[in-house]
Structure 1
Amino acid sequence: MTQTITKPISFDEFVAWYPENAACKYELHNGAIVEMPLGTGAHSNITGFITGEIHFEIRRLQLPYSIPGDCLLKPLEDESGYQPDIIVLDREQLSKEPRWQKESIITLGSSVRLLVKIVCINWHKDYLIKAGDYELMGIPEYWIVDYLGLGGRRFIGNPKSPTISVYNIIDGEYEVKQFRDDERVESLAFPELQLTAAQILQA
């Protein structure tokens, strides 16, 4: 049984609290521990599909990148910590990460080439909070894969529809492009990637 903590805690307190061999995943949101719900079958299929396609590109182009099984991402604020669905790391930058070898914690945006979030019911955090935190960290590319079209109308339009939003850092700020149906998803990290929104959303 996992101990419940009610007072706001810091990232380091969250790391110390995190149970070994936990049956589910946890994140820290503004000092509060949040249990992350198990993904649906569709969520898991999409995660696996994107991971496989990106792995193929990494091997095909012999890039110095890797996709870890698990890691914690620490934003600049000390009261949050996230577990991305997919994170592509630059192995050549990991030597600069002070907590990577012992704790699998990423603190520098320069270590990340691509970060992917598959939207679940808590879409507000993905579009509003995490995008802002990742922008401040300088993470160059962030995908929000909204396969059910759950996001707010100001994010994915009206009428809502399944959408892949790709955020890229341009002059220190995120600019977003959106992809639907048979449009090829454009990635700065993987410019030769030949994937359409439909292929991902229907995986």
Structure 2
Amino acid sequence: MVTNLQIQPISFEEFLEWYPENEKTYELIEGVIVEMLPTGSHEDISGFLIAELNLEIRKQNLPYSIPKNCLIKPLAPRSGYLPDVAVINREHLKNEPLWEKLSVIQNSQTVPLVIEVVSMNWRDDYGHKFVEYEAMGIIEYWIVDYRGVGAVRHIGKPKQPTITICQLIEGEYQMEKYVKGDRLKSSIFPELELTTDTIFQVAQLK
């Protein structure tokens, strides 16, 4: 769930100057500051995915890490996204001038994989972020719609929990949808053994 805080559009630079030092987290979407208010299930799935990918990173001895929080600055001048999971290639952090001070990523080479866990703001994940991550050149983008709330045009009919993995091919995202019983296929983690059922069950352990 998200809450809009203002309606006057601001730039990304103004957003960084405004960003308060508290426990809350925010995104900037087309000039509007949005407070992120994730649900328990949303956080459970994000945490589970981080744990699984960190295990794979260690197993494969990859130069990756997953920061607790990082802002991704797309090409859009009035947007800044705080992904649920961002896999960072540490070898490219030297090319990120805002990383040390503000945890901002601006180059697609630095972030090969981004994951968004869908809440009720599904239009941002399937819309703004899809377009901007693609334009930025992020190689892989997962949309984890564990409640099946996205539009029929995105997840089909009847609606059901769906994970969409978007692979950047010749500058455009090619999408593969995974539903109940499927094993995910990732170009960033080709040896990953992870199924949709395992992910969806995390939200049901209540």
AA aligned to 1:59 is R
**Same amino acid, percent of matched pairs:** 50
Q: 1:24 offset after TM fit, Å? A: 2.1
SS at match of 1:12: helix
AA aligned to 1:50 is L
In the alignment, what sits opposite 1:191? 190
In the alignment, what sits opposite 2:33? 33
CA deviation profile, 1:113-169 (whole Å, cap 9, x unmatched): 210000000101100110000000000000000000000000000000000000000
AA aligned to 1:88 is V
CA deviation profile, 1:71-100 (whole Å, cap 9, x unmatched): 111111110001000000000111111111
CA distance in 2, matches of 1:92, 1:72: 18
Structure 1 residues 101-140: aligned runs within 5 Å: 101-140=100-139
CA distance in 2, matches of 1:70, 1:40: 17
AA aligned to 2:14 is E
TM-score (norm 1): 0.95
CA distance in 2, matches of 1:26, 1:112: 19
Change (3 A) 1:6 1:150: closer
Q: 1:5 offset after TM fit, Å? A: 5.0
In the alignment, what sits opposite 2:83? 84
CA distance in 1, matches of 2:162, 2:77: 31
Structure 1 residues 40-51: aligned runs within 5 Å: 40-51=39-50
Change (3 A) 1:148 1:5: closer
Structure 2 unaligned segments of length 5 or more: list them.
Answer: none
CA distance in 1, matches of 2:181, 2:194: 9
CA distance in 2, matches of 1:118, 1:6: 25
SS at match of 2:112: strand
AA aligned to 2:57 is I
TM-score (norm 2): 0.94
User: Does 2:60 align with 1:61?
Assistant: yes
Across the aligned residues of Structure 1 and Structure 2, the Cα RMSD in angstroms comes to 1.0
In the alignment, what sits opposite 1:141? 140
In the alignment, what sits opposite 1:93? 92
CA distance in 2, matches of 1:70, 1:50: 15
User: Does 2:10 align with 1:9?
Assistant: yes
In the alignment, what sits opposite 2:160? 161
CA distance in 1, matches of 2:9, 2:170: 34
Aligned residues: 198
Structure 1 runs, 4 residues or longer, greater than 2 Å off: 4-7
SS at match of 2:87: strand
In the alignment, what sits opposite 2:172? 173
Q: Which stretch of structure 1 is more off in the superposition, 117-126 or 41-50?
A: 41-50
Structure 1 unaligned segments of length 5 or more: list them.
Answer: none
AA aligned to 2:92 is Q
Q: 1:34 offset after TM fit, Å? A: 1.2
CA distance in 2, matches of 1:66, 1:36: 23
